[in-house]
Amino acid sequence: MTKEEFIADIRAGIPEVLPQPQAYDKSINHAPKRKDILSVEEKKLALRNALRYFPKKFHATLAPEFADELETYGRIYMYRFRPTYEMYARPIDEYPHRSQQAAAIMMMIQNNLDKAVAQHPHELITYGGNGAVFQNWAQYRLVMKYLSEMTDEQTLVMYSGHPLGLFPSHKNAPRVVVTNGMVIPNYSKPDDWERFNALGVSQYGQMTAGSYMYIGPQGIVHGTTITVLNAARKVGGNNMKLFVTAGLGGMSGAQPKAGNIAGVVSVTAEINPLAARKRYDQGWVDELHESLDELIPAIRKAVDEKRVVSMAYVGNVVDLWERLAEDNIHVDLGSDQTSLHNPWAGGYYPVGISLEESKRMMAEEPEKFKEKVQASLRRQVAAINKLTANGMYFFDYGNAFLLESSRAGADIMNADGKFRYPSYVQDIMGPMFFDYGFGPFRWVCSSGNPKDLETTDRIATEVLEELRKTSTPDIIGQLDDNIHWIKEAGKNKLVVGSQARILYADSEGRTKIALAFNEAIKRGEISRPVVLGRDHHDVSGTDSPYRETSNIYDGSQFCADMAIQNVIGDSFRGATWVSIHNGGGVGWGEVINGGFGMVIDGGEDAERHIRQMLLWDVNNGISRRSWARNEGSVDAIKREMERTPDLHVTLPNFVDDDIINEAYK
């Protein structure tokens, strides 16, 4: 397709002439068939809902086709309308646009759907088994058309993948406001998601999928690297560390690369051979093993030789855990990174059942499948318990492993009713990073030029090194890890899709890096605008009692005020787009995620937006964590108030335990 044809296709939106049906591409990793949950009347409603995107002249042709999709896949994806052009993040100037900000958003959307990036690209799912950019291809087409027409005096409103429309606003308003899965709380159970998604009225946006801010596996690599480095420090000693986990699909294959950067032997189980092969072909995993009889000696040899290597086991993780326990292999670090927030619809596959049989069972026998999953979790936990008894440090990676294992009746609870194992946020990320304002700061070079990315890497390094000169002892370790990361990032070839980078920084670090980028764009040192954003594993944007806010103990870990306030505050302080999501990481109904994107172009408006919005985006969370009596956050917000005279935060008073105990003698 020529550039002119690409532009015409974008501008057309829903085409005037019905495209030809497309063959189902079996070489692509597809989403599993979803649960058949709708009644006949509800299926009719789903069909009616889908057809409202199209003129009446198409209805007779599309109705049976969409009905067949609903029966075959459990969803109406509208495969016929999938674009025939290659899907990837083009340089910003190649998109038809009236607003440069809108063009940047188009670039980010296409990156999320790039087959090298997305988990199930033809089903518009980026990661996590169900993290969707849109529900169907009609929505994609309409959104791209709207963005191509948008001015800086309009805002596109997105309801769970559906473009409600372009509305008049003003240049300092967000160009796009995204909501995903904002259903009434009493209707936010997993089956509710299945029903509403099948009806075409709601979707699970995860966070960076539905907020157009996914930067491929790199983001997860960084978080996993930092986690593994600090977990290894907790274990201590100079021996070669063995790290065992699972999930190369939903987690984007981050664990092997992170293991290599952290200097350990890593073994990641993955039941889907396509997902495992994809990561191997990308160079993200060093070795593929399909036999435990072959894998176990390979593990022993690598540990003995102190050789940094990443291995993928193409098989079920429970078989791996049980064999490790049976053979008395000493595992230093253990976790699970399957998409257990989505246990009944492809996030976890039970032991003893093939991948294909599992896919059939979850669609046709969902209750039996649930029983198999829960039995599998009980076996998995039993094996993990044996290994932890021999010295393994096991942590929940925020994928709802502890939660779903407890619901399955696994031996995962202590006598006091608390989980036997910590969340990585409780032990590592919360007290060491989030409480001090450190979290995943991301940027994308809209030129698509690797040289621009090299320049941003250099600038970010210089800023962090300068900050380190005057940093307090409690954050020097974080700065050192991230300086090392950014210096090594280019060498490790972490870019998949857009020219993007991630590092952990606090409010001061993010602001100074962004301002330095803005000045470099102004000077022409960076050739085109830069898109700023972040992940949900952060200080301020996410309320999740079993993950991001699991180290908050004042009872507010179940409240979502912070995430909602975050998005509202970002929207009037300069964000180019904002998003709020039910679900992400730990599941539908278990978390509220807030996100943003900001386009900086070297101008004065961008400078003002950076100073105002990034300060709020981080310190909203530090303030909340401080009020929860997290001492690191109390110290951090006091330092921020010294730097920012107009900031006045309510600080907690600490009460002595004996006074509380005396009141309840």
Alpha-helix runs per DSSP H in 343-421: 355-364, 366-389, 401-407
Classified as helix, coil or strand, 435 is helix
Classified as helix, coil or strand, 393 is strand
Please classify residue 660 by burial: count the beta carbons closer than 10 Å to its beta carbon, then call 0-12 exposed, 13-18 middle and 19+ buried.
exposed
Residues 6+ apart with CB under 8 A from 157: 163, 164, 165, 167, 176, 177
* C-alpha 118 chain-centroid distance: 12
Give the C-alpha distances (Å, rounded to integers) separating 51 from 20, 33, 75, 542, 576.
17, 21, 13, 35, 31
Q: Pick the closest to residue 289 from 277, 302, 303 (CA basis).
A: 277
Q: For the CA atoms of the chain, what is the radius of gyration?
A: 24
Are 214 and 127 spatial neighbours (Cβ–Cβ below 8 Å)? yes
For residues 311 and 319, what is the distance between their CA atoms, to the nearest angstrom?
A: 15
Checking 40-46 for CB contacts under 8 A at 24+ apart, the result is: 42/195, 42/198, 42/199, 43/67, 43/70, 45/199, 46/70, 46/76, 46/198, 46/199, 46/200
Annotated binding site for NAD(+): 128-129, 206, 270, 397, 585
Classified as helix, coil or strand, 387 is helix
Are 413 and 385 spatial neighbours (Cβ–Cβ below 8 Å)? no
**Amino acid letter at 477?**
G
Q: What are phi and psi of 51, to 5 degrees?
A: -75, -15
- Tokens 């009460």 locate to 655
**Amino acid letter at 128?**
G
Classified as helix, coil or strand, 91 is coil
For residues 549 and 242, what is the distance between their CA atoms, to the nearest angstrom?
A: 28
Mind giving me the DSSP string for 543-588? E-TTTTTTT--SSGGG--HHHHHHHHHHHTTT-SEEEEEE-SSS-T
What are the structure tokens assigned to 349, written together? 């596959």
Classified as helix, coil or strand, 344 is coil
Classified as helix, coil or strand, 335 is coil
For residues 408 and 385, what is the distance between their CA atoms, to the nearest angstrom?
A: 15
Are 247 and 314 spatial neighbours (Cβ–Cβ below 8 Å)? no
Classified as helix, coil or strand, 182 is coil
Classified as helix, coil or strand, 114 is coil
Annotated binding site: 128-129, 206, 270, 397, 585
Q: How many CA atoms lie within 13 A of 575 on its CB side?
A: 27
Are 251 and 337 spatial neighbours (Cβ–Cβ below 8 Å)? yes
Residues 6+ apart with CB under 8 A from 24: 79
